[in-house]
Amino acid sequence: MPVRRHVVSSLFLLLLILPVSLPAQARKPSSSRAGPSPRVAQLLRRLTVRQQVAQLIMLWIPGTYAAFDDRALDRVRGWVDTLQIGGIIVSVGSPMDIAAKLNFLQRRSKLPLLVGSDLEGGTSFRFNPGGTPFPTNMGVGAAGSERDAYQMGRVTALEGRAAGVHLTFAPVADVNNNAANPIINTRSFGSDARAVARFVAAAVRGTQDAGMLATAKHFPGHGDTDTDSHISLPVVRADWARLDTLELIPFRAAIKAGVDVVMSAHIAMPGLENGSMEPATLSPDILTGVLRDSLHFRGIVVTDALDMGALVSSYGPGEASVKAFLAGSDLLLMPTDPYAAIEAMIEAIGAGRIPRARLTASVRRVLDTKERLGLFARRTVNLDKLGEVVGRRAHRDTALSVSARSLVLVRDSLGLVDSLRAGPRRVSVVSYADGNTTQPVGGTLQAELSRRGYQVSGFRLTTASGPASYDSATAVLKSAPFAIFATSVRFGSGRGAIGMAEAMSRLIRTSAEARPTALVSFGTPYLLSQAPNVAAYLLAWTNNALTEEAVAAALTGAAITGRLPIDLPQGYPLGFAIVKPAR
């Protein structure tokens, strides 16, 4: 009899999840919080406690190619087959490799997998090569148009859904009000909370109108920190009055726009927790008291990665998951040991620490979201259609136009930019990329300048370059009357600070003493303090071929119209810009 009951139960579950139709396109997610559908209600009654807990776990996989019987996939197959986890977070890979791997896992899974990915600044952040690259959020903020934020969200959603991704962990809703912040930086739309709120709301609408779940992060605000939460626990020493009138403004806008997901931050806010230094991810006062009760958010609350240093150093994988769930989270991202996390959750439910009603509410949110996304009807994607959507010309043209509008000319003290725009010149281009840059910088810039008739001599430096390389770069600089430095210095987890190597900043300063020198930052805007004597300073926000194409056009006569979405410490206020009309 026990065996027969198991077979009947399995058949019933199978009937519940078999496709009933194959819609031409995935259903648009809705921010409606209505009660569960009959399908979800039946599933909730049939799933065991262990299966329900597993639905709340999302684990990370690489997006790179792997044969389906590759031993590298053994662990992932175990997560899907044995643990029956609820979701997958996919990282970098080509669109085809990502889509094929996700299809394979979806077919194995008893219930549809909710697939998330960190698609900040367009799909190219993960779909590499192939995805459409937009500027970072700060670049979109510099362009000044909410329509650009909407289009970035829309294109990202269309491409992501085509490859099997349902949830993007974007947009960042943090206000970048601390120039020393090593991890937010250009990921924020800017330092003006109300402007950030408008862009966040537009990005949410663009993403969700095109069928993908958007995530506002990192709640209640990660902008005013100078510590990387991947290393240790940042502390924001703000009271409720400051939080209410600054950090929470973009999150309120996201909720009003109907955002489906909010991600917690691994930061301590003792001003809200009676002096406690517990991370917001583990704080009921913040995730339930502020987010649920004060801001009336009814969607899914997701943790930031539970393997980050701010938590790993203090809590084991099991207790961290339990505390995050008790604080108010629904989805638990990347616990270091998912088996231990599930066992700890089951033990906490059995002991009464976690009420069954609380578990049911979170599982219902997850299952209801999967149904609204159309995953019970169709969970795989058509690989033949990828090339019609991901990286298509119309998407790249949109991204190029946003990139062009995002450029901000901060300084042109010797009229260097005007001289370059007057006609073809002989220039040297020295490029520099730090360890967080996934591709070389400067190649497209040099090619585009050459195509426009400029005589270009170039040299490439990295963080690994030694004295001999810097000597060679100096020789290249001496070969031309004008110098352009193209730098890609970006935020990155685990670094603790953002900046150029001292040898690089010294080379720029020396060049500026000898000839008109321009510094173009394809990354953080805060480099001027390391090269204060450059004649020209142009902010390009991110390193990709479209941005380099936009910079080449700007340096040879295209309009430069972006404005600072932040205050630069060297005395350049929010909204400042040197605007150049097209020649």
Residues marked as catalytic? 230, 304
CA distance 452 to 26: 44
List, as one string, the DSSP characters of 36-90: PPHHHHHHHHHS-HHHHHHTTEEEEE--S---TT-GGGHHHHHIIIII--SEEEE
> Strand pairing partners for 61?
90
Rounded to 10°, the helix 338-350/317-327 angle is 60
Gap between the Cα atoms of 441 and 428, Å rounded: 14
* β-strands 536-539, 408-412 pairing: antiparallel
Strands (E), 341-406: none
Three-state secondary structure string covering 407-421: CEEEEECCCHHHHHH
Q: Do residues 508 and 473 make contact, with C-beta atoms less than 8 angstroms apart?
A: no
Which residues, including other chains, have CB under 8 Å from residue 175's CB and lie 6 or more apart? 188, 190, 191, 192, 193, 196, 221, 223, 224, 246, 247, 249, 250
Instruction: For residue 339, give Cα distances in angstroms to 28, 336, 448.
Output: 33, 9, 52
**Position of tokens 């959507």?**
389
Q: What is the DSSP letter of 123?
A: G
Q: What are phi and psi of 87, to 5 degrees?
A: -160, 165
3-state secondary structure of 283: coil
DSSP string across 144-182: T-HHHHHHHHHHHHHHHHHTT--EE---B------TT-S
Residues 6+ apart with CB under 8 A from 386: 95, 96, 99, 162, 163
Residue 266, preceding bond cis, omega within 30 degrees?
no
**What's the CA gap between 454 and 482, in Å, rounded?**
11
Longest dimension (CA), the chain: 89
In this structure, the number of other CB atoms found within 10 A of the CB of residue 75 comes to 11
**CA–CA distance, 578 with 116 (Å, rounded to integer):** 40
C-alpha angle 368-167-78 in degrees, rounded to nearest 5 = 80
